[in-house]
């Protein structure tokens, strides 16, 4: 059951990461709430999307190698 949760986190990270890269304008209202003191721009959304994809790949590699 623990690996199912990790796989779900990896899938969510990849989906939101790629969606943020392809459609950053759709995420501006969400990021304007999350990044309250700072202005949400396409550049910050793309940077966050790249980090989400990188984290998902790191979690996937961790899952495949069996590191606990």
Reported pTM: 0.76
Give how many domains the chain has, as a whole number. 1
Q: How confident is the model at residue 2 (pLDDT cuts 50, 70, 90)?
A: low
Q: What is the pLDDT of residues 9-40, one digit of tens each?
A: 888 888 888 988 888 888 888 877 876 777 77
27 lies in which domain range? Answer: 2-65
- DSSP labels for 2-63? HHHHHHHHHHHHHHHHHHHHH-GGGGHHHHHHHTTTS---HHHHHHHHHHHHHHHHHHHHHH
Query: Could you count the other beta carbons within 10 Å of the beta carbon of residue 36?
Result: 8
């Amino acid at each position: 059951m623990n690996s199912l949760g990790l796989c779900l986190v990896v899938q969510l990270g990849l989906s939101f990461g790629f969606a943020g890269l392809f459609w950053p304008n759709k995420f501006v209202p969400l990021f304007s709430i999350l990044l309250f003191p700072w202005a949400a721009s396409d550049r910050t959304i793309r940077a966050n999307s790249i980090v989400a994809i990188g984290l998902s790949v790191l979690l996937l590699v961790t899952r495949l190698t069996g590191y606990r």
